A and B are shown apart, each in its own frame.
Chain A
Amino acid sequence: MFDPIKEVNEQLGKLRETAETKGIDLSREIRHLEAKLHRLEKDIYGNMKPWDRVQLARNPKRPTTLDYIERLFPDFIELHGDRHGYDDAAIVAGVATLEGMPVTIIGHQRGRNTKENMARNFGMPHPEGYRKALRFMKQAEKFNRPIITFIDTKGAYPGKAAEERGQSEAIARNLFEMATLKTPIVSVVIGEGGSGGALGIGVCDRLLMLENSTYSVISPEGAAALLWKDAKLAERAAETMKITAQDLYGLGIVDEVVTEVFGGAHMDVSLQSSLLKPVLTQHINELVQQGQTELLNGRADKYHQIGTIGS
């Protein structure tokens, strides 16, 4: 794919190198190219359509849950297993501290390459993944630790065995238990939020979304096929279905949109983590101030008000 930004960047690099090694004054040319680069970036990233954001959310280089955990929680200790015979690698879980406060972290985990993706089932959990997540949520409740969940999945795995072992039940159970879990829950959509498979670890007090992530009831391709019998209309569906962070903020579903690094989170994961950290900390700090009744009523109201008028 032709990437004009990359092209100009390379030219700029060469020019700078020549200027330095050969001692020629190329500052006018360099300034000219820098201005061009700036214009290009503004053009491309400033006018992003929902479909462009879908592409960014699906970029294979997009940082995963563990990429954020490494940078935000250097003391993270991963823990495993559903205690019923499985450890679903599509869900990672563990404990860490956030500004000195113990927290439980749970997230979908995609692979960063094909081999990892095979091991992690492309971040699509089986029922055991949801049951593993629930085990750590209950533990968090017992020890009064706030929960942070990272949402990043195309959806729960649609397989034969997954159906037999109760994919529906596992997700439903999590929604049910998270409803009154007596500890704050903050969820962050970092990539794709795919339907029930995302919500299965996403019932929360505060929902945050990275600027270029998406959250939807069905993929734009699926929606186009179902509604207009033509998967090629996915681009249109991405707009109509209102799946971007901005659209969902407008609908009152998302509580805060987290600014992304210019060009997308993958351009600088460390910088992206430092943009996320204060937002995460602020919401957790606000929630731990609340009493139990206030917290749980707030959670119930949050979901109650989404579809209703004037309540």
Chain B
Amino acid sequence: MTAFFKKPKRYMPLRQREPKIDAPQGLMTKCPSCKYMHYTKQLNENHKVCDCGYHFPLSADERISMLVDTGSFEKFPGPEVKANPLGFPDYEEKLAKDRERTGIEEAVVCGRASIAGHPFVVCVMDARFRMGSMGAYVGEAIASAVRQATAERLPVVLFTASGGARMQEGMVSLMQMANTSIALKQHDEAGLLYISYLTHPTTGGVSASFAMLGDLNVAEPGALIGFAGRRIIEQTIREKLPDNFQTAEFLLEAGQLDAVIHREQMRSFLHNMITLHGGGVDRV
């Protein structure tokens, strides 16, 4: 008998199972980059950065508590803006859902705080809320926080995390690029320091306005930063883009950023910069 007549052995595929971990939800966090399983508590103590260098996204509250002197943060009241300027269908329901899910009012949190006793104005965008997109609320909250900083002669540190314009607010959203830039120009003309701190992701209308207007533009490692979307560029130029395209490191090499800063150094970097830019030398 030849092999031809032999009935081939049949194997039954075993269903792949997630490794079973006997742990309550939230105890472990998996790194999406290197797949390592972290104890959430340990990860949090490590500024939410994996050993492989992956920076987990932070909520606005997490960022603020990691950065400023304990108890120093005073939140500014939210601006009074048109809730649904275009009358866009279902938009208000979406906002309400995100408010419930995230516990924040909108995609940015602004206030006054201090680092090692140095007061400054801080604005932190939160990408969990409508992908951090900018509508009238976000634009006006940032613009009015900057105006406040100008009035009190304080530096501004702004953490960006945004997909760009808020589609549901159309041109009202686009005009926030001008609104924020004008407030920042007035702050600039008053001789005050503005640090734009770009985190993952910073794209579209946000990258083409306040994100790029810092006296210093710095970014977190691996953050996606760009004007146009990767797919649109690939379709336009009909070629595949390199993997690191539009990352913080790519932009640093292209001369578009002052520095890429590991989250561990965030507080000390900002502390140094705020002190170094305070006052300057009096010349006779």
List chain A residues, Cβ under 8 A from B85.
Answer: 251, 307
Q: Within A227-279, which residues are at the interface with B (CB < 8 Å)?
A: 227, 240-243, 248, 251, 253
Q: How many residues of B contact A (CB 8 A)?
A: 61
- B227–A304 CB distance below 8 A: no
- A306–B175 CB distance below 8 A: yes
B41 within 8 A of A: no
List chain A residues, Cβ under 8 A from B232.
Answer: 158
CA distance A149 to B179 in the complex (A): 19
CA distance A56 to B171 in the complex (A): 20
Q: Which label, helix, strand, loop or mixed, suits the secondary structure of the B interface?
A: helix
**Which residue from B179, B183, B205, B207 sits with its C-beta under 8 Å from A306?**
B179
List chain B residues, Cβ under 8 A from A199.
Answer: 174-175, 177-178
B176 within 8 A of A: yes
CA distance A173 to B178 in the complex (A): 11
List chain B residues, Cβ under 8 A from A304.
Answer: 140, 143, 179, 182
List chain B residues, Cβ under 8 A from A143.
Answer: none
List chain B residues, Cβ under 8 A from A253.
Answer: 171-172, 175
- B185–A176 CB distance below 8 A: yes
**Which residue from A163, A164, A172, A248 sits with its C-beta under 8 Å from B210?**
A172
- B245–A160 CB distance below 8 A: yes
CA distance A199 to B158 in the complex (A): 22
**Which residue from B82, B170, B209 sits with its C-beta under 8 Å from A241?**
B170
- A300–B186 CB distance below 8 A: yes
Stretch of B27-35, B55-63, B233-241, B264-272 on the interface side? B233-241
- B213–A158 CB distance below 8 A: no
CA distance A63 to B212 in the complex (A): 34
- A303–B179 CB distance below 8 A: yes
> Quick one: closest B residue to A158, CB to CB?
B228
A145 within 8 A of B: no
Distance (Å) between the CB of A122 and the closest chain B CB?
10
**Which residue from B88, B173, B181, B226 sits with its C-beta under 8 Å from A203?**
B181
Check A163/B236 contact, CB under 8 A, given A172-B212, A172-B213, A307-B85.
no
- A196–B170 CB distance below 8 A: no
- B171–A180 CB distance below 8 A: no
A169 within 8 A of B: yes
- B237–A160 CB distance below 8 A: yes
B119 within 8 A of A: no
- A168–B227 CB distance below 8 A: yes
Distance (Å) between the CB of B71 and the closest chain A CB?
31
CA distance A76 to B129 in the complex (A): 49
- A307–B212 CB distance below 8 A: no
- A167–B228 CB distance below 8 A: yes
CA distance A243 to B79 in the complex (A): 25
- B165–A167 CB distance below 8 A: no
- A167–B178 CB distance below 8 A: no
Q: Within A185-199, which residues are at the interface with B (CB < 8 Å)?
A: 195-196, 199
- A196–B177 CB distance below 8 A: yes
List chain B residues, Cβ under 8 A from A218.
Answer: 165, 167
Instruction: Tell which of A172, A242, A248 has the most Cβ of chain B within 10 Å.
Output: A172
- A165–B254 CB distance below 8 A: yes
- A168–B207 CB distance below 8 A: yes
B193 within 8 A of A: no
CA distance A195 to B164 in the complex (A): 11
CA distance A242 to B256 in the complex (A): 34
A100 within 8 A of B: no
B89 within 8 A of A: yes
- B171–A242 CB distance below 8 A: yes
List chain B residues, Cβ under 8 A from A12.
Answer: none
B208 within 8 A of A: yes
Sample of 12 more A-B contacts, CB < 8 Å, known A179-B181, A203-B178, A300-B183: A156-B208, A162-B227, A163-B233, A166-B254, A168-B212, A203-B182, A227-B168, A304-B143, A306-B172, A308-B79, A308-B82, A309-B81
Query: Which 3 residue pairs spanning A and B have beta carbons closest together?
Result: A307-B136, A158-B228, A175-B181
Task: Pull 8 A–B residue pairs with CB atoms less than 8 Å apart, ordered by A.
Answer: A158-B236, A166-B212, A166-B255, A168-B208, A169-B256, A172-B212, A242-B171, A307-B135
Q: Which residues of B contact A (CB under 8 A)?
A: 79-82, 85-86, 88-89, 135-137, 139-140, 143, 165, 167-179, 181-186, 188-189, 204-205, 207-213, 225-229, 232-233, 236-237, 239, 241, 245-246, 254-256
